[in-house]
Amino acid sequence: MVSLTITALNSIVPFGFKKMVLYEKYSFADEVNVTLARTVILKLVSLVVLVYTIYDSVNCSPKDECNVGTGDCSELRVRKRFSVSQPL
């Protein structure tokens, strides 16, 4: 769910940045630089949130002496891909 939200925000928010720059009355060079900086910051924040979400779902604590999670750990959902190759 987090990845879908990040994808939606990365698709929609840059258009908002372009609209914001029009009202801020920058020169063209500054307009490009500000829009680029805002977009790069958005992408980096999205990456940090995604990495934290994945890390949080993989790293479960507290753990017992066998390094097995004993707390409120959600079960990881892993997709399995099967490829069947048939000889011709």
Whole-angstrom distance, CA of residue 69 vs CA of residue 57:
12
Domain that holds residue 36: 1-88
Tens-digit pLDDT profile for residues 45-83: 999 988 888 887 777 666 666 656 566 666 655 556 656
Question: Domain tally for the chain?
Answer: 1
Percent of the chain as helix, strand, coil, to the nearest 5:
60, 0, 35
Longest dimension (CA), the chain: 65
What is this structure's pTM? 0.63
pLDDT band at 6 (very low <50, low <70, confident <90, very high): confident
**DSSP 8-state assignment for residue 69:** B
Tens-digit pLDDT profile for residues 26-40: 899 998 899 899 999
Within a 10 A sphere around the Cβ of 32, how many other Cβ atoms?
12
pLDDT of residue 68: 61
| Inter-CA distances, 55 with 12, 25, 49, Å | 26, 41, 10
